[in-house]
Protein backbone atom coordinates (compact mmCIF):
# COMPACT_ATOMS: atom_id res chain seq x y z
CA UNK A 1 0.00 0.00 0.00
CA UNK A 2 1.27 3.46 -0.92
CA UNK A 3 2.20 5.46 2.16
CA UNK A 4 0.46 8.74 2.86
CA UNK A 5 2.95 11.61 2.97
CA UNK A 6 2.23 14.83 4.84
CA UNK A 7 4.17 18.09 4.69
CA UNK A 8 4.07 21.05 7.07
CA UNK A 9 5.22 24.39 5.69
CA UNK A 10 6.32 27.11 8.10
CA UNK A 11 6.00 30.85 7.79
CA UNK A 12 8.97 33.07 7.10
CA UNK A 13 7.98 35.76 4.63
CA UNK A 14 10.08 35.74 1.47
CA UNK A 15 12.16 32.90 2.87
CA UNK A 16 9.02 30.78 2.45
CA UNK A 17 9.52 30.89 -1.32
CA UNK A 18 11.90 28.01 -0.60
CA UNK A 19 8.78 25.87 0.03
CA UNK A 20 7.97 26.16 -3.67
CA UNK A 21 11.38 24.79 -4.53
CA UNK A 22 10.95 21.95 -2.04
CA UNK A 23 7.61 20.96 -3.58
CA UNK A 24 9.12 21.13 -7.07
CA UNK A 25 11.96 18.80 -6.07
CA UNK A 26 9.53 16.32 -4.51
CA UNK A 27 7.43 16.36 -7.67
CA UNK A 28 10.50 15.78 -9.84
CA UNK A 29 11.30 12.74 -7.71
CA UNK A 30 7.76 11.37 -8.04
CA UNK A 31 7.01 11.86 -4.34
CA UNK A 32 3.31 12.61 -3.96
CA UNK A 33 2.06 14.75 -1.09
CA UNK A 34 -1.25 13.56 0.40
CA UNK A 35 -1.92 16.19 3.06
CA UNK A 36 -0.57 19.69 3.79
CA UNK A 37 -0.52 22.19 6.63
CA UNK A 38 0.90 25.69 6.74
CA UNK A 39 1.28 28.99 8.56
CA UNK A 40 1.74 32.42 6.98
CA UNK A 41 3.80 32.07 3.77
CA UNK A 42 3.53 28.31 4.24
CA UNK A 43 -0.25 28.75 4.18
CA UNK A 44 -0.11 30.73 0.92
CA UNK A 45 2.14 28.19 -0.80
CA UNK A 46 0.21 25.28 0.69
CA UNK A 47 -3.13 26.62 -0.53
CA UNK A 48 -1.91 27.08 -4.06
CA UNK A 49 -0.33 23.64 -4.18
CA UNK A 50 -3.43 22.01 -2.69
CA UNK A 51 -5.46 23.74 -5.42
CA UNK A 52 -3.30 22.14 -8.10
CA UNK A 53 -1.07 25.08 -9.04
CA UNK A 54 2.30 23.78 -10.21
CA UNK A 55 5.42 25.01 -8.35
CA UNK A 56 6.91 26.86 -11.33
CA UNK A 57 3.63 28.72 -11.79
CA UNK A 58 3.69 29.59 -8.09
CA UNK A 59 7.20 31.00 -8.48
CA UNK A 60 5.93 33.15 -11.33
CA UNK A 61 3.06 34.43 -9.19
CA UNK A 62 5.18 35.37 -6.15
CA UNK A 63 7.70 37.07 -8.43
CA UNK A 64 5.06 39.46 -9.79
CA UNK A 65 5.61 43.17 -9.12
CA UNK A 66 2.33 43.51 -7.23
CA UNK A 67 3.16 40.64 -4.88
CA UNK A 68 6.58 42.09 -4.14
CA UNK A 69 5.04 45.52 -3.58
CA UNK A 70 2.43 44.41 -1.02
CA UNK A 71 4.93 42.41 1.05
CA UNK A 72 8.05 44.36 0.21
CA UNK A 73 8.73 46.70 3.10
CA UNK A 74 9.69 46.52 6.75
CA UNK A 75 7.93 49.59 8.12
CA UNK A 76 4.59 50.72 9.43
CA UNK A 77 2.45 52.11 6.59
CA UNK A 78 1.91 55.88 6.88
CA UNK A 79 -1.84 55.52 6.64
CA UNK A 80 -2.06 52.84 9.30
CA UNK A 81 -2.16 49.08 8.98
CA UNK A 82 -2.52 47.65 5.48
CA UNK A 83 -5.15 45.33 4.13
CA UNK A 84 -4.03 42.22 2.25
CA UNK A 85 -6.36 43.10 -0.61
CA UNK A 86 -3.92 42.03 -3.30
CA UNK A 87 -3.46 38.62 -1.71
CA UNK A 88 -7.24 38.11 -1.70
CA UNK A 89 -7.42 39.06 -5.36
CA UNK A 90 -4.44 36.87 -6.24
CA UNK A 91 -5.93 33.80 -4.58
CA UNK A 92 -9.32 34.42 -6.19
CA UNK A 93 -7.67 34.90 -9.60
CA UNK A 94 -5.60 31.72 -9.57
CA UNK A 95 -7.82 29.38 -7.55
CA UNK A 96 -11.27 28.56 -8.88
CA UNK A 97 -12.40 26.97 -5.61
CA UNK A 98 -13.61 28.66 -2.45
CA UNK A 99 -13.86 25.83 0.08
CA UNK A 100 -11.32 23.50 1.66
CA UNK A 101 -13.40 20.53 0.61
CA UNK A 102 -12.92 21.43 -3.06
CA UNK A 103 -9.12 21.46 -2.96
CA UNK A 104 -7.28 18.60 -4.64
CA UNK A 105 -5.16 17.85 -1.56
CA UNK A 106 -6.45 18.06 2.05
CA UNK A 107 -5.14 21.28 3.53
CA UNK A 108 -4.97 22.81 7.03
CA UNK A 109 -4.32 26.50 7.76
CA UNK A 110 -3.06 27.77 11.10
CA UNK A 111 -3.90 31.21 12.50
CA UNK A 112 -3.27 32.88 15.85
CA UNK A 113 -6.59 33.64 17.53
CA UNK A 114 -6.17 36.80 19.61
CA UNK A 115 -9.44 36.23 21.47
CA UNK A 116 -8.64 32.74 22.73
CA UNK A 117 -4.88 33.28 22.92
CA UNK A 118 -4.37 29.96 21.12
CA UNK A 119 -3.52 28.87 17.60
CA UNK A 120 -6.45 27.68 15.52
CA UNK A 121 -6.56 25.21 12.65
CA UNK A 122 -8.98 25.69 9.73
CA UNK A 123 -9.71 22.82 7.33
CA UNK A 124 -13.41 23.12 6.50
CA UNK A 125 -15.55 25.70 4.77
CA UNK A 126 -14.25 28.84 3.08
CA UNK A 127 -10.44 28.99 2.99
CA UNK A 128 -9.42 32.41 1.66
CA UNK A 129 -10.06 34.38 4.86
CA UNK A 130 -8.14 31.88 7.05
CA UNK A 131 -5.20 32.08 4.63
CA UNK A 132 -5.33 35.89 4.71
CA UNK A 133 -5.46 35.79 8.52
CA UNK A 134 -2.56 33.36 8.68
CA UNK A 135 -0.50 35.84 6.62
CA UNK A 136 -1.43 38.98 8.56
CA UNK A 137 1.86 39.97 10.20
CA UNK A 138 0.99 41.91 13.39
CA UNK A 139 1.51 45.70 13.31
CA UNK A 140 1.96 45.64 9.52
CA UNK A 141 -1.29 44.13 8.26
CA UNK A 142 -4.76 44.43 9.70
CA UNK A 143 -5.99 41.38 11.61
CA UNK A 144 -8.83 39.37 10.10
CA UNK A 145 -12.13 38.74 11.85
CA UNK A 146 -13.55 35.24 11.41
CA UNK A 147 -16.70 34.19 13.26
CA UNK A 148 -16.46 37.33 15.42
CA UNK A 149 -12.94 36.50 16.59
CA UNK A 150 -9.72 38.28 15.65
CA UNK A 151 -6.94 36.36 13.91
CA UNK A 152 -3.37 37.21 12.90
CA UNK A 153 -0.30 35.47 11.50
CA UNK A 154 -0.30 31.79 12.40
CA UNK A 155 3.43 31.90 13.02
CA UNK A 156 2.95 33.96 16.18
CA UNK A 157 1.75 30.90 18.10
CA UNK A 158 2.48 27.96 15.79
CA UNK A 159 4.79 28.44 12.85
CA UNK A 160 4.99 24.75 11.95
CA UNK A 161 1.46 23.34 12.42
CA UNK A 162 2.18 19.62 12.45
CA UNK A 163 -0.73 18.86 14.80
CA UNK A 164 -3.43 18.26 12.15
CA UNK A 165 -1.10 15.92 10.26
CA UNK A 166 -0.10 13.73 13.20
CA UNK A 167 -2.02 10.48 12.92
CA UNK A 168 -3.32 11.47 9.49
CA UNK A 169 -0.26 10.48 7.47
CA UNK A 170 2.36 7.74 7.50
CA UNK A 171 5.35 9.99 6.92
CA UNK A 172 5.66 13.62 7.95
CA UNK A 173 8.03 16.12 6.35
CA UNK A 174 8.64 19.43 8.11
CA UNK A 175 10.15 22.39 6.26
CA UNK A 176 11.82 25.14 8.28
CA UNK A 177 13.13 28.31 6.63
CA UNK A 178 13.75 30.39 9.74
CA UNK A 179 17.23 30.98 11.19
CA UNK A 180 18.29 29.78 14.62
CA UNK A 181 21.51 29.40 16.57
CA UNK A 182 23.98 32.04 17.67
CA UNK A 183 25.00 35.15 15.74
CA UNK A 184 27.91 37.45 16.50
CA UNK A 185 26.49 40.93 16.02
CA UNK A 186 23.04 42.37 16.60
CA UNK A 187 22.89 46.09 16.01
CA UNK A 188 20.43 48.54 14.61
CA UNK A 189 16.67 48.70 15.05
CA UNK A 190 15.88 46.56 12.03
CA UNK A 191 18.36 43.82 12.94
CA UNK A 192 17.10 43.73 16.53
CA UNK A 193 13.51 43.52 15.30
CA UNK A 194 14.31 40.67 12.92
CA UNK A 195 16.33 38.80 15.56
CA UNK A 196 13.45 39.03 18.05
CA UNK A 197 11.06 37.81 15.36
CA UNK A 198 13.33 34.88 14.44
CA UNK A 199 13.85 33.77 18.05
CA UNK A 200 10.14 34.02 18.83
CA UNK A 201 9.33 31.87 15.80
CA UNK A 202 12.06 29.32 16.55
CA UNK A 203 10.73 28.93 20.08
CA UNK A 204 7.49 27.42 18.75
CA UNK A 205 9.08 25.52 15.84
CA UNK A 206 11.91 23.56 17.46
CA UNK A 207 9.79 21.07 19.40
CA UNK A 208 7.50 20.48 16.41
CA UNK A 209 10.38 19.63 14.09
CA UNK A 210 11.16 16.73 16.42
CA UNK A 211 7.73 15.27 15.63
CA UNK A 212 8.58 15.04 11.92
CA UNK A 213 10.01 11.95 10.25
CA UNK A 214 12.25 14.15 8.13
CA UNK A 215 13.19 17.82 8.22
CA UNK A 216 14.22 19.96 5.25
CA UNK A 217 16.09 23.13 6.21
CA UNK A 218 17.43 25.17 3.30
CA UNK A 219 19.84 27.01 5.58
CA UNK A 220 21.10 29.23 2.75
CA UNK A 221 17.85 31.20 3.14
CA UNK A 222 18.69 32.04 6.74
CA UNK A 223 20.76 35.01 5.55
CA UNK A 224 17.75 36.48 3.74
CA UNK A 225 15.24 38.66 5.57
CA UNK A 226 11.49 38.15 5.49
CA UNK A 227 10.93 40.91 2.92
CA UNK A 228 13.60 39.78 0.46
CA UNK A 229 11.05 39.20 -2.32
CA UNK A 230 13.28 40.40 -5.19
CA UNK A 231 15.47 37.32 -4.52
CA UNK A 232 12.56 34.95 -5.22
CA UNK A 233 14.31 32.75 -7.79
CA UNK A 234 17.45 32.39 -5.70
CA UNK A 235 15.41 31.41 -2.64
CA UNK A 236 13.37 28.98 -4.75
CA UNK A 237 16.54 27.16 -5.82
CA UNK A 238 17.83 27.01 -2.25
CA UNK A 239 14.67 25.11 -1.38
CA UNK A 240 14.87 22.94 -4.49
CA UNK A 241 18.44 21.76 -3.96
CA UNK A 242 18.01 21.29 -0.20
CA UNK A 243 15.08 18.99 -0.90
CA UNK A 244 16.98 17.14 -3.64
CA UNK A 245 19.66 16.27 -1.08
CA UNK A 246 16.98 14.55 1.01
CA UNK A 247 15.28 12.57 -1.78
CA UNK A 248 17.31 9.38 -1.29
CA UNK A 249 16.66 9.46 2.46
CA UNK A 250 12.91 9.91 1.88
CA UNK A 251 12.78 7.07 -0.63
CA UNK A 252 14.75 4.82 1.72
CA UNK A 253 12.40 5.60 4.61
CA UNK A 254 9.39 4.91 2.41
CA UNK A 255 10.84 1.76 0.86
CA UNK A 256 10.80 3.26 -2.63
CA UNK A 257 13.31 1.88 -5.11
CA UNK A 258 15.22 4.71 -6.81
Give the pLDDT band of residue 257 (cuts 50, 70, 90): confident
- Whether pTM exceeds 0.85: yes
- The per-residue pLDDT for range 165-202, each reduced to its tens digit, is 999 999 999 999 998 877 777 777 777 877 787 888 88
Count the neighbouring beta carbons within 10 Å of the beta carbon of residue 39: 35
Partnered with residue 174 across adjacent β-strands are 8, 215
Partnered with residue 144 across adjacent β-strands are 151
Question: Angle at CA 12, nearest 5°, toward 90 and 204?
Answer: 130
169, exposed or middle or buried, with CB in 10 Å at 0-12, 13-18, 19+?
buried
- DSSP classification of residue 64: S
- The per-residue pLDDT for range 55-110, each reduced to its tens digit, is 999 999 988 755 666 564 444 455 445 778 888 888 999 999 999 999 999 999 99
Question: Cβ distance 8 to 161 under 8 Å?
Answer: yes
- The per-residue pLDDT for range 209-229, each reduced to its tens digit, is 999 999 999 999 998 888 888
Distance CA 154, CA 120 (A): 8
Amino acid sequence: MEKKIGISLCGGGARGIAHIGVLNALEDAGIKISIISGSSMGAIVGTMYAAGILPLKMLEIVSETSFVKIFGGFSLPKGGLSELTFLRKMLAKHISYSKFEELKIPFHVCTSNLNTGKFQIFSKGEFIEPVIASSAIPLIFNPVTINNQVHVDGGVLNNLPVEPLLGNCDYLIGVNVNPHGEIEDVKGLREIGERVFDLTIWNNVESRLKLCNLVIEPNQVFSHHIFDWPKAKQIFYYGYFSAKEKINAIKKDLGINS
